[in-house]
Amino acid sequence: MKIQIKIALLFTLVCTLIIIAVSSAVYYFANEQAFQDFYTRLELRATIAAKANLDTDNVNSSAYEQVRNEHLQRLPDEREYIIRIDSLQSEAKTGLDAEVPQSFFTDISSKKKPSYRKGYRFYKGIYYQDSTGDYAIIISAEHAYARNFLLNLKTILITANLVATIIIFSVGVLFSKQILAPIRNITANVKRIKATSLHKRLTVKQGKDEIAELANTFNNMLARLETSFETQNNFVSNASHELNTPLTVIIGEAEFALSKGRTTGQYQQGLRVILKQAEKLKNLTKSLLELAQSGFSGSLSFEEVRLDELFRNIQKVAASIYPNCSIIVDNSLLPADFKTLSIKGNFHLLELCISNIILNACKYSTGENVTLALALSDRDVIFIIKDKGIGIPKQDMPHIFDPFFRASNVNSSKGYGIGLPLAQNIIKLHNGSIDISSKEAEGTEVVVKFPRG
């Protein structure tokens, strides 16, 4: 069963239950009001009957009788009983009406005005005193109007409930169709996204409702898939190109050495070339594997990463590779509780990410100081790395995150063009952001933000 029909049925069930509850309340209160009004009419008749039959003043008695005959329409099967109080109990026992309980007569003797109902036959009793003695006046009648009225009301309410249920279900179907329209649009758009078009995104309307959250979740998933696919594609397409050069050199040197006899020095020179290219091949392969793995987060474990510990490890890595690089740690932006701060992530990848950026700064700083600072905002932990090195030419800035791309002014420096793409992948996996601003010959500033733990 489709969710649209389920919603319509649930909506119909809830609304129908509410309508039934309201209809029951209407029927109940109409029933009570009709009964109460009838009791009042019976009490009035009992009072007039007492006045007409027991008043010693003939004029008043005649007047009451005239009023009763002219203005009070006789009720269906109306019965009138005038009984002396001292004989009321015996009259009750002999069967005034076998259906009337004993308590009814007891209440009259106690000068109350009891009421009793059996089906649609109603009884009202009053205690009446005059010069001739004390009497119990009992009026009984069938409430035919209430019976007919309530029967018609019940028929109307049942019919209205059935018609309302049909209308509510129809409205529910249209309502659920309208509510689920954005989801159907999302489904249709997702079906059009293939492995070759992962760059496409769902249109997200302004708002924070569940539909917008669902669309954002899909977009985030697509972004992760796109990163993973691009990383794998880059690995396949670029690895063959980058690995081909050292392999060609190694094969060429080996073939040259084996083509004829060589001197010891020539063999040593060939082996040194092969060793150098093998080391290059090893480093390149390691970098390529790190780049490929950074685009896939399925096997990564995230934990609380202490910032002070991360800071110390990054400094050790930089000092071991570039001992002559002067790294200045700017503590002015650090909070007092720095040692207690943490972010959610993978320690190894975070260390690799920030270390790569700092190592790039050291490599291209041309002997100038590199500044490392940490700051906090309400939502993010911010790493700021500055250098006063060679900078990045303006025309190269759009390509700095392309794997194996190297700026036009770094040809004299060793590298594979993998550091920044690797750092960007790691930052994406941690839902962070990276922003780079640079001017050629003036230096570079890198700002990396990670959500606070």
Give the pLDDT confidence of 214-242 residue by residue, as tens digits. Answer: 888 888 888 877 777 776 666 565 556 55
**How many angstroms separate the CA atoms of 360 and 364, rounded?**
6
pLDDT in tens, 154-193: 889 899 999 999 998 888 888 888 877 777 887 888 888 7
Q: Where are the alpha helices (DSSP H) in 330-378?
A: 347-363
Confidence tier at 29 by pLDDT (50, 70, 90): confident
pLDDT in tens, 70-100: 556 677 777 888 888 877 777 665 556 657 8
Share of the chain above pLDDT 70, in %: 83
User: Which backbone phi and psi does 327 adopt, to 5 degrees?
Assistant: -100, 115
Q: Given this model, what pLDDT does residue 56 score?
A: 57
Pairing between β-strand 121-130 and β-strand 133-142 as defined by DSSP bridges: antiparallel
Confidence tier at 103 by pLDDT (50, 70, 90): confident
pLDDT in tens, 382-396: 999 999 889 999 998
Query: In what helix (H) or strand (E) does residue 163 lie, and over which residues does it extend?
Result: helix 144-191
One-letter amino acid for residue 18 of the chain? I
In this model, does residue 448 exceed pLDDT 90?
yes
| Average pLDDT, integer, range 350-358 | 87
Q: Where are the alpha helices (DSSP H) in 55-143?
A: 58-71, 88-94, 102-109
What is the token pair recorded at 395?
């025309």
Share of the chain above pLDDT 90, in %: 9
Three-state SS string over 54-70 comes to HCCCHHHHHHHHHHHHH
Out of 99-108, 129-138, 295-304, 416-425, least confident range: 295-304
Output the CA–CA distances (angstroms, integers) from residue 254 to 246, 264, 269, in the order listed: 12, 14, 11
**How many angstroms separate the CA atoms of 213 and 328, rounded?**
42
Query: In what helix (H) or strand (E) does residue 153 lie, and over which residues does it extend?
Result: helix 144-191
In this model, does residue 203 exceed pLDDT 70?
yes
Contact 173, 8 (CB under 8 A): yes
Length of the chain: 453
In this model, does residue 435 exceed pLDDT 80?
yes
Pairing between β-strand 370-376 and β-strand 327-330 as defined by DSSP bridges: parallel
Contact 122, 39 (CB under 8 A): yes
What is the token pair recorded at 25?
């309340």
- Among 186, 242, 244, 184, smallest CA distance to 214 is for 186
**How many angstroms separate the CA atoms of 6 and 316, rounded?**
61
pLDDT in tens, 283-308: 767 766 665 665 555 556 778 888 88
Report all structural domains of the chain as residue ranges with CATH numbers, in order of start: 3-148 (3.30.450), 210-294 (1.10.287.130), 303-451 (3.30.565.10)
Q: What is the mean pLDDT of the chain?
A: 79
Q: Given this model, what pLDDT does residue 88 score?
A: 77
Contact 195, 39 (CB under 8 A): no
| Average pLDDT, integer, range 401-424 | 78
Residue keyed to tokens 């001292």? 86
